Amino acid sequence: MTHVRDLYLDVAESAAGLLAAPEVAVRWTEPSALAELSVRGLAGHLAGQVFFVPAMLAEQVPAEARVTIHQYYARVSWIGSDLDAPFNRSIRSAGEEEAAGGAADLAARVAACVARLRDSLPAAPDRAVRRPSWGPWSISLDDFVTSRMLELVVHSDDLAHSVGVPTPEFPQEAVETVVDILSRIAVRRHGAVEVVRALSRSERAPASISAL
């Protein structure tokens, strides 16, 4: 098994534990920390980052050429898009639908999926994967797993903050991998000078260098 798959599985297991926290069920119908997204919808979106992996493994290998994970993030149209853009509306509705069975049901399904992935993901061959919403490209399975790990780390923090519990402590290497990707996206969006200032000079730091 590649090391990133191991990291992903550890992060996914932590996310599964967060979804099972009683505070998530208590605040299920309340607004989350993200605009226009309930705790239920956010939990469903977080869970989707686990469910996506076996779904992708079940798809046929795409014919489109592979790009790297950094090229992928440079090409996607959703980064920085308006809250009411069709893609973002679909994300919100999909999260609500994924969690329609309630908090306990969602947490149990995620835990079971992570357990199955512990068996299936290590043995999965190196292959390309692709989602229909992308342009004419694919990425490697390991890069896709890395992208889902980023989503799990970011949205676990969103969910934890939304329900008033500590953010899970993820493996240091997983966090470093996510921060590396986010920092590269931030440089593309805001420019190198702004990112350097935000990280080194509070007196000249811009208001935001948000990657996403």
Q: Which parts of the chain are beta strand (E)?
A: 128-129, 139-140
CATH of 3-168, picked from 1.20.120.450, 3.40.190.10, 3.40.1390.40, 1.10.3720.10, is: 1.20.120.450
Q: Measuring CA to CA, which residue among 130, 160, 126 is closest to residue 147?
A: 130
- Find the angle CA(86)-CA(88)-CA(90) to the nearest 5 degrees: 70
Name the residue type at position 198. Answer: A
Q: Measuring CA to CA, how many Å separate 66 from each of 79, 124, 198? A: 20, 18, 33
pTM for the predicted model, two decimal places? 0.95
Segment 150-167, tens digit of pLDDT: 999 999 999 999 999 999
Predicted pLDDT at 77:
84
Q: Which amino acid appears at position 182 of this protein?
A: L
- Burial group, residue 29, by CB count within 10 angstroms (0-12, 13-18, 19+): exposed
Mean pLDDT of the chain: 95
Partners of 87 in the β-ladder:
none
Q: Are 107 and 178 in contact (CB under 8 A)?
A: no
Summarised one tens digit per residue, pLDDT across range 37-65 is: 999 999 999 999 999 999 999 999 999 99
